[in-house]
Amino acid sequence: MRTEVVLNGSSAPSANYIGWSPRPATIRLSDATGANGPVVVTLRNQRTNVGGQVVFSTSTQTPGATLQLPLPVNGSPVDFFVAGKFRSASETDRDAVIEVVDGAGAVLSQTSLMVRVRKDVTTLTAAERDLFIDTLARFNASGMGKFADVRAMHVSAALDESHGSGPPPPQFPNAPAFRDAFLPWHRAYLLDLERALQAIEPAVALHYWRFDKSAPQLFSPDFLGEPRTGSSVRFSSTNPLRNWKVDSQVGFQRDPRFNHLTSGASNANGPVLTEAQTFKLGTTYRAFVRMEGQPHGRAHTCFDGPINNPATAPRDPLFFLLHCNVDRLWAQWQFLNRLWNPTVAGTYTFLGKDGDPGATRVGHNLLDTMWPWNGIHASPRPTTPPPSTSAGPGMLPSSIAGAPRAQPTVEEMLDYQGQTRPGVWQGFDYDDVMF
Ligand SMILES: [Cu+2]
């Protein structure tokens, strides 16, 4: 007797990646030899002391470490859900194993999967760290790879789309200066990059730099480089980033204006807001998005080097770890305030589309699509051809997540876990932001 477990609607191994959101799964008797009626099986974690852990649920049963299901003898599939057990993420590729046993304890199948989440860089194993920097280096390919397009999404022509600039429109005088889509735009941006990295190496995830805490591991020759005053950061001779090249330039400067070995980020104006202070910016999106200035902006300006200027910041890989933390802060804030659904007051600012009364700048209204993924390059959008990590305009698709669409709207970036739209998961989670 054998069983077959299928995750995320595909029996391909590339589908066996989950986060904290319940993912659709099926189980069936693939070989019913010896059964003369429905077979009750138990799903469990094969190893409970090592590797990623999962929980099982059904439409009527709450999540648990085991699940009993009767399987029809004719081999038709039975639905269930599987999710990563919060704070029990994988450390290596597909180190979680769903084991199925019959009533006598005989093992009917084992299915490997990975609970793949974005982690605090200070908690990574050496293998996780190396997987990340190696994949990033391969994606850049010493300046010859598609990483150039990721950078080209965040140059000066694009900053109206991704950041705040200019005064608020006259009909909306109290609006923050065009900042609304700062967080959704960067969420899409990071996800597009992460999917590009996962196309090279499925086990990789973006990770985040908690800039309000010291992270000496990060600023070391084996990770993102050791600062050297006035010159490029130093990498160890085995670090795949040692040949990091952008704009025909090898290496980059990143001089901290703070003691990077002992404290969180700080500049002449003082430290970045702590996480707790950031959450206290307010309980509406309009109040919270002021974090674009502090802590986000200040985290950038805690260094001398390309990272302190928006148009050049993506030359430095730290940019992506900084922004991953910005996105995580938003995700955590969303969770704390239960704000994923735009029809709930405070989730987002303007709920209409460009051209409606009260609209702010195109690309920043809830129902607007976002450049470059929408492929539009006529004013007032950036007029340069939109760079793309995929063959045409649009986000890279995912083998495990159906969302967002290739040309996402601002709205689609809000509920990344499917909190208010069950099953609509974007394919990423944070180690400390639960579902
Ligand atoms: Cu930034």
Q: Output DSSP code: residue 387.
A: P
How many angstroms does the Cα of residue 152 sit away from the middle of ligand 1?
Answer: 14
How many angstroms does the Cα of residue 296 sit away from the middle of ligand 1?
Answer: 6
pLDDT digits (tens, 9 = 90+) for 254-289: 999 999 999 999 999 999 999 999 999 999 999 999
Asked whether the beta carbons of 231 and 283 are under 8 A apart, the reply is: no
Tell me the chain's radius of gyration from C-alpha atoms: 23
Q: Is the dihedral of CA 357, 363, 364, 370 positive or negative?
A: positive
Asked whether the beta carbons of 299 and 329 are under 8 A apart, the reply is: no
Asked whether the beta carbons of 109 and 2 are under 8 A apart, the reply is: yes
pLDDT digits (tens, 9 = 90+) for 178-196: 578 999 999 999 999 999 9
Mean pLDDT value across residues 32-46: 96
* pLDDT at residue 37 tops 90: yes
How many angstroms does the Cα of residue 163 sit away from the middle of ligand 1?
Answer: 8
Nearest CA to 182 out of 323, 28, 23, 7 is that of: 323
* pLDDT at residue 389 tops 70: yes
pLDDT digits (tens, 9 = 90+) for 284-301: 999 999 999 999 999 999
Distance CA 185, CA 229 (A): 33
Please measure the distance between the N-terminal and C-terminal CA atoms of the chain and give it in whole angstroms.
Answer: 35
* pLDDT at residue 353 tops 60: yes
Q: Is the previous residue joined to 295 through a cis bond, with omega within 30 degrees of 0? A: yes
How many angstroms does the Cα of residue 186 sit away from the middle of ligand 1?
Answer: 8
Asked whether the beta carbons of 121 and 321 are under 8 A apart, the reply is: yes
Specify the pLDDT at position 168: 60
Per-residue pLDDT band at 396 (split at 50, 70, 90): very high
* Whole-number percent of the chain with pLDDT over 90: 87
Question: 289-323 burial string, b = 16+ CB within 10 Å, else e?
Answer: bbbbebbbbbbbbbbbbbbbebebbbbbbbbbbbb
* pLDDT at residue 176 tops 60: no
Distance CA 279, CA 291 (A): 9
How many angstroms does the Cα of residue 98 sit away from the middle of ligand 1?
Answer: 40
**How is residue 19 written in tokens?**
């986060």
Cα separation values, 410 from 350, 354, 414, Å: 11, 12, 7
Specify the pLDDT at position 166: 55
pLDDT digits (tens, 9 = 90+) for 131-153: 999 999 999 999 999 999 999 99
Segment holding 329, helix H or strand E: helix 318-337
Mean pLDDT value across residues 348-362: 89
Distance CA 222, CA 74 (A): 55
How many angstroms does the Cα of residue 29 sit away from the middle of ligand 1?
Answer: 51
Mean pLDDT value across residues 35-46: 97
Which alpha helices (DSSP H) does 234-312 contain, by range? 275-279, 285-288, 298-300
Per-residue pLDDT band at 172 (split at 50, 70, 90): low
Amino acid at 197: L
- Residues written for the chain: 435
* pLDDT at residue 379 tops 70: yes
Specify the pLDDT at position 45: 98
How many angstroms does the Cα of residue 319 sit away from the middle of ligand 1?
Answer: 7
Which carries the bigger pLDDT value, residue 128 or residue 167?
Answer: 128
Per-residue pLDDT band at 247 (split at 50, 70, 90): confident
How many angstroms does the Cα of residue 303 sit away from the middle of ligand 1?
Answer: 13
Segment holding 184, helix H or strand E: helix 182-200
How many angstroms does the Cα of residue 65 sit away from the middle of ligand 1?
Answer: 40
Specify the pLDDT at position 81: 98
How many angstroms does the Cα of residue 34 sit away from the middle of ligand 1?
Answer: 61
Provide CB contacts within 8 A for 245, sequence distance 6+: 140, 142, 143, 251
How many angstroms does the Cα of residue 346 sit away from the middle of ligand 1?
Answer: 23
How many angstroms does the Cα of residue 194 sit away from the middle of ligand 1?
Answer: 17
pLDDT digits (tens, 9 = 90+) for 112-128: 999 999 999 999 999 99
**How is residue 149 written in tokens?**
């397009």
How many angstroms does the Cα of residue 12 sit away from the middle of ligand 1?
Answer: 36
* pLDDT at residue 177 tops 70: no
DSSP codes joined into one string, 202-215: TT----B--TTS--
Which alpha helices (DSSP H) does 88-181 contain, by range? 126-140, 147-152, 159-162
How many angstroms does the Cα of residue 399 sit away from the middle of ligand 1?
Answer: 28
Per-residue pLDDT band at 169 (split at 50, 70, 90): low
* Whole-number percent of the chain with pLDDT over 70: 97
Q: Output DSSP code: residue 295.
A: I
Distance CA 406, CA 384 (A): 19
Distance CA 153, CA 155 (A): 6
How many angstroms does the Cα of residue 294 sit away from the middle of ligand 1?
Answer: 11
* pLDDT at residue 386 tops 70: yes
What's the burial of 242, exposed, middle or buried (CB within 10 Å: 0-12/13-18/19+)?
A: middle
* pLDDT at residue 359 tops 90: no
How many angstroms does the Cα of residue 121 sit away from the middle of ligand 1?
Answer: 18
**How is residue 351 written in tokens?**
């709920």
Question: 104-115 burial string, b = 16+ CB within 10 Å, else e?
Answer: eeeebbebebbb
How many angstroms does the Cα of residue 309 sit away from the middle of ligand 1?
Answer: 9
* pLDDT at residue 330 tops 80: yes
How many angstroms does the Cα of residue 326 sit away from the middle of ligand 1?
Answer: 8
Distance CA 83, CA 106 (A): 24
**Mean pLDDT of the chain, nearest integer:** 94
Specify the pLDDT at position 173: 61
* pLDDT at residue 164 tops 70: no
Provide CB contacts within 8 A for 144, sequence distance 6+: none
How many angstroms does the Cα of residue 297 sit away from the middle of ligand 1?
Answer: 6
Specify the pLDDT at position 392: 86
How many angstroms does the Cα of residue 182 sit away from the middle of ligand 1?
Answer: 9
Distance CA 32, CA 356 (A): 60
Specify the pLDDT at position 161: 85
Asked whether the beta carbons of 416 and 187 are under 8 A apart, the reply is: yes
Asked whether the beta carbons of 61 and 19 are under 8 A apart, the reply is: no
